[in-house]
Amino acid sequence: MSIEQPFETIPVEALRARAQALRDEGWRLVQIGATRLPDQLELTYSFDRENRLANLRLALPGDEPKVPSISSIFWCAFVYENELHDLFNLHVSDLAVDYRGHFYQTAVKFPFGSTKPPAAKPATPQPAAAKA
Q: Which parts of this chain interact with another protein (CB under 8 A)? A: 1-3, 5, 7, 28-31, 33-35, 44, 46, 50-51, 53, 55, 74-76, 78-80, 83, 86, 97, 99, 102-106, 111-112, 128, 130
- Supply the minimum distance, in Å, between the C-beta of residue 37 and another protein: 8
Instruction: Give the C-alpha separation, 82 to 100, whole Å.
Output: 8
CA angle 114, 120, 124 (to 5 degrees): 125
Instruction: Give the C-alpha separation, 19 to 40, whole Å.
Output: 22
Residue number, 13 or 55, with CB nearest to another protein: 55
Residue number, 18 or 112, with CB nearest to another protein: 112
- Three-class SS of residue 23? helix
